[in-house]
Amino acid sequence: MQNWIQAYSWMNIRFLLMGLGVTVYISVISVILSFIFGSILGIIRYSKIKYVSAIFGFIIDLIRNLPLLLIIFFTYFGLPNFGFKPETIPAAIMAMTIFESTMIAEIVRSGLNAVDIGQTEGARSVGMTFLQSLRYIILPQAYKKMIPALISQFVSLIKDTSLATIIVVPELMQHAQVIYGQNANYILPMFAALAVLYFIVCFSLSLLGNHIDKKLA
């Protein structure tokens, strides 16, 4: 019991919460960036532009099928060979954005495909251009269908930020490791804290997603 009280001293808790702050910061920026890039990529893939869509599609498939950990390593240890050396947090954000954009592109593409083709035909036949029909008719319906998939992708993005600990990004997992590195008695309390903190963040996002989904449906 003594271990638990010491492990949860205010200094340690504050240190963990600072880590949680970095985790949330990386997650929020990566969610926003990968939502933007993922939507663009998904639309490019959906619009069937000759050659362009196929090439983008292939690159998306390549990145999607690699482990995120490899991409994190690549941005942090590989890019300096090309004369560009990012700091740890930007490297993590870059890796997350590259990887998650391709995952979201796939969600966007299948969401767009799930909208009845008659909707596009109808929009085009009343004189809208392809982009207009996409913007006003197809995308709003597609995004509504995508909400559950998008939310679960964002939840896994938050969980995946823990992998960035390998390049010593000062996020939640890393800070927990620093604390239990000082004293083996802190290992169990720290893992309990990690589980609870990650669970609270991820589960509340899932609940929010369900709520939005029900409200719109």
Q: How far is CA 198 from CA 103, 121, 126, 156, in A?
A: 21, 45, 49, 11
**Would you tell me the crossing angle of helices 187-216 and 139-160 to the nearest 10 degrees?**
180
Half-sphere exposure of 159 (CA within 13 A, CB side): 14
Q: Give me the least distance between CB of 20 and another protein, in Å please.
A: 13
Q: Which CB atom, from 130 or from 191, has the smaller least distance to another protein?
A: 191
Q: Which CB atom, from 2 or from 65, has the smaller least distance to another protein?
A: 65
Q: Which CB atom, from 23 or from 133, has the smaller least distance to another protein?
A: 23
Q: Give me the least distance between CB of 126 and another protein, in Å please.
A: 29
Residues near another protein (CB under 8 A) are: 61-62, 64-70, 73-74, 77-78, 81, 155, 159-160, 162-163, 165-166, 173, 180, 184, 187-188, 191, 194-195, 198-199, 202-203, 206
Q: Give me the least distance between CB of 125 and another protein, in Å please.
A: 26
Alpha helices in 8-138 (DSSP H): 10-46, 52-64, 68-73, 88-114, 117-125, 130-132
Q: Give me the least distance between CB of 204 and another protein, in Å please.
A: 9
**Would you tell me the crossing angle of helices 88-114 and 10-46 to the nearest 10 degrees?**
40
Q: Which CB atom, from 90 or from 148, has the smaller least distance to another protein?
A: 148
Residue entry with tokens 């890039």: 37
CA angle 127, 131, 136 (to 5 degrees): 80
Q: Give me the least distance between CB of 215 and another protein, in Å please.
A: 21
Q: Which CB atom, from 61 or from 116, has the smaller least distance to another protein?
A: 61
